[in-house]
């Protein structure tokens, strides 16, 4: 029995490529082989699909109708394959993930390492960057983002946590300059600021009555990396305004002291995002589930 799909993918590729030569290059075949496939397809169907000249080809009316059907059929096959693959119990294949640098190192990577141990057929590529990558353009399967989500048309998202800010300092700095308590106290202190693209993050805190204050603080150093900010704070160069999950690990080790915990009044949502798709491959779904389950257990908020 003749396979009714024989030649269909080649025919569609010829139309989409615009020439036999380009289609041959894309499919790693010779131009002659492409021509023979199309001829056999026409013979099987009993109609001419293409008007061919030495320089170009155009669809016949029958070819146009058949092409539209073929495109829909191949799309259904792709969707079916994705649906079947999404139901596989064993995640496999290459999973490309983009994560913020500090949060990625401390909170996301350990979860993905666990997935790698659990699923030997899963290949995980992790890119550490604080820029907001274009998932579709850069062929990224999954990303973790902190803060406002701006793209809600091409991406799906799941909230996995909330980030609050805390203020800390080294024991040596506090011994020399004292512990600020009230909002006005911070005017007498030096702070190490986070700055990116010329924009400097402001410091906010609530007083004991729940009133929000924008802190007035002298800024001598501005850095665009939270680890560098922590290092400067540990060196005694000033107060630091850091995510609570990051500050607390240094406080636990005695390198920094928490001056004000969860002082920020504008907590940031943490999401895992991925390109919209009717069916999620099992590799993507298992990573989303793992991050959604394990990240909140890390006391990030």
Domain boundaries, the chain: 8-85, 93-162+268-297, 165-260
Topology alike, domains 93-162+268-297 and 165-260: yes
Q: For the domain 165-260, what is the CATH code?
A: 3.40.190.10
The residues, ordered by sequence, that sit 6+ positions from 76 with a Cβ below 8 Å of its Cβ are none
Evaluate the CA torsion angle 131, 136, 138, 144 in order and state its sign: positive
Q: For the domain 93-162+268-297, what is the CATH code?
A: 3.40.190.10
CA–CA dist 122, 107 (Å, integer): 20
Q: What is the pTM of this model?
A: 0.67
Give pLDDT, residue 89: 62
Match 């989500």 to its residue by tokens.
Answer: 149
Reading the chain (301 residues) residue by residue, the pLDDT tens digits are 457 788 899 999 999 888 888 888 888 889 899 999 999 999 999 999 998 876 778 899 999 999 999 988 888 787 777 666 655 567 889 999 999 999 999 999 999 999 999 999 999 999 999 888 888 888 899 999 998 887 667 889 999 999 999 999 999 999 999 999 999 999 999 999 888 766 777 888 888 888 888 898 888 899 988 999 999 999 999 999 999 999 998 999 999 999 998 886 778 899 999 998 877 888 999 999 999 999 987 766 6
Cα distance from N-terminal residue to C-terminal residue, the chain: 63
Give pLDDT, residue 54: 67
Give pLDDT, residue 137: 83
The per-residue b/e assignment along 43-68, b for 16 or more CB within 10 angstroms, e otherwise, is eeeeeebbeeeeeebebbeebeebbe
Residue pair 205/264 in contact by the 8 Å Cβ criterion: yes
CA–CA dist 257, 168 (Å, integer): 5
Architecture of domain 8-85 in this structure = Orthogonal Bundle (1.10)
Give pLDDT, residue 41: 92
Residue pair 108/300 in contact by the 8 Å Cβ criterion: no
């Amino acid at each position: 029995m003749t396979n009714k799909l024989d030649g269909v993918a080649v025919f569609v590729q010829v139309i989409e490529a615009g020439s036999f030569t380009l289609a041959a290059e894309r499919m790693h075949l010779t131009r002659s082989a492409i021509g023979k496939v199309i001829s056999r397809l026409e013979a099987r169907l009993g109609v001419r699909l293409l008007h061919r000249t030495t320089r170009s080809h155009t669809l016949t009316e029958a070819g146009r109708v058949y092409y539209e059907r073929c495109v829909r059929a191949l799309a259904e096959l792709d969707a079916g394959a994705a649906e079947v693959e999404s139901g596989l119990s064993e995640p496999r294949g290459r999973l490309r993930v983009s994560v913020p640098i500090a949060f990625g190192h401390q909170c996301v990577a350990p979860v993905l390492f666990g997935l790698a141990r659990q699923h030997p057929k899963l290949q995980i590529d992790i890119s550490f960057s604080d820029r907001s990558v274009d998932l579709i353009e850069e062929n990224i399967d999954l990303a973790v983002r902190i803060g406002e989500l701006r793209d809600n048309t091409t991406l799906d998202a799941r909230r996995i946590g909330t980030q609050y800010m805390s203020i800390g300092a080294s024991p040596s700095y506090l011994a020399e300059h004292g512990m600020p308590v009230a909002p006005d106290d911070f005017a007498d202190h030096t702070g190490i600021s986070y700055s990116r693209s010329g924009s400097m993050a402001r410091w906010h805190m609530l007083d004991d009555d729940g009133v929000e204050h924008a802190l007035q603080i002298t800024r001598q150093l501005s850095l665009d990396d939270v680890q560098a900010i922590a290092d400067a704070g540990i060196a005694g160069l000033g107060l630091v305004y850091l995510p609570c999950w990051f500050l607390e690990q240094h406080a636990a080790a005695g390198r920094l002291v928490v001056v004000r915990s969860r002082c920020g009044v504008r907590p940031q949502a943490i999401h895992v995002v991925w390109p919209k798709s009717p069916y999620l491959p099992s590799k993507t779904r298992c990573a989303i589930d793992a991050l959604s389950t394990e990240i909140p257990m890390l006391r990030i908020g």
